[in-house]
Structure 1
């Protein structure tokens, strides 16, 4: 109990310091502390009209657009959350129960595997990672696909799915789970698919594959064919899944060792940013080019703000915080979830 009060007092101290001494991230951009909430406190009231789903610090659920917790569950083993609902599951489950934003049971699906959401689509991957299924929120099976090698990466946009496999191949599926295209990266002494992302219109995608060298490929669908627009070796040769994200405006983010690489498909420009520790998450502001990056070194976590493709705007150190921290945007509100608490900042142009 004393430890929880100590943590809460530390967070209030950080809020107070930033409130009286705001962090000026540029001559015209300021983040102002707005609120602090406890995820473990009881909540009442109706579900938010625009819910913000989250998974963080051993909890999963929904915030309202102002960052206030609306419905929260403690994670048993894993959790999948989207605006449609939440699935809190055990390590071995034969029935997956989906609840709505009020916590009421919406549907129970009799199946084995691990659920996750891609662009509001409910997918379940088998425990051996060889089979993938899509379900409706009513529990109806839409399609099922089996792959020759374990799935290592998944992305979705529009009516397309992009699946990366352990054997190094990438498969494009239509909305019925049927194969459309395949891509086999030519580079790399060892063939492995490490990451994939698709842009919002599903016109372009970026995949990372191979070891020695590890290579990124920018792909685009044109006139019923899949074309490779550009490929380039990466500075890192990480032998694990990489964080590859799609950002608005035709940009992609690629995790690098101690850094972040931003690729713009419109002009094929690439920009590298040094980030302390290992990159955990990249979130783009919905109405600007501002990026927020969460990273971790041996003992601390950092939130870095990148105001454009050429300069930083600021960095916040979360000393002593380990697994469970997450970041997200809700309009002009930047939200940090850490140690069972929600810190809300307001983005202001002055």
Structure 2
């Protein structure tokens, strides 16, 4: 066993966990053959633990590159700090359960529950799937290795399969979470009549890499188009969480989050918040965040002491693209309870003009 011990030491100095595991398994097998089963079991228990060693920055300096473009195929986030994300209670609970399951992998392994801890996030764009992946990275203390699809997909489909393998091998050699964003771009259904045979072989290659990677590593994927995914892909993910658009009841919490940096005159007005929430229902958190930030900018430009209700309603309205329809904008503000004088101030027009437009529309 002297050779194996030397190799284990070499693997430790090289920070090569796979080498350490490989030769430790050989020692375990030899011990078992000589009747030292308890000692062999102790080694196997250590090997089965998903203990995370300290993350060294130099482990991530050499990124896998696409041979054609010479561009890196992954982005690395270490010690990421995520912004708050507002999610439905059920989704929150599922994410917390998933994080807890990662921290309890040793217990599951001892019970013989060696299921892969892969997670598929799906739902409309702008609802926080990428933020959730970063949040899980932050909570677990593991770097997030995000595969860059524009670097993975080559004009030569054979090269795409090689790039996929490079990324999985890179992540497998390091303590990290591999995150495949916009997953549908490389995991499309193989029965799609629009796809050529070579691209179907790329999907087969992807599935094979996922199977190998899932044995001991953490994989998260996200897609806005879950219906495009190959059915076999779903079976590779033991955890599947839908991230939906916020409901009308959840929007007030988003408003408080995105407007917390400024004074807001209507934030405690239940009736006005309800009106705004009704208007914003159907939008993603990303859309709502943009409206809030643009509302803040407009309020500053208008020298308001606090973000006013009419200013925010104006921003809600123009986010729908009706930028040039002054009459409809005035009717909209009036219908939402904004007085004529406040409409004139918000739009920088005379009160008489506002009154004339409202009277004309009533006829």
**TM-score relative to the length of structure 1:** 0.19
**Highest RCO, 1 vs 2 (Cα 8 Å, sep ≥ 6):** 2
- Relative to its length, the structure with more strand (as a share) is 1
**TM-score relative to the length of structure 2:** 0.19
Which structure has the bigger radius of gyration? 2
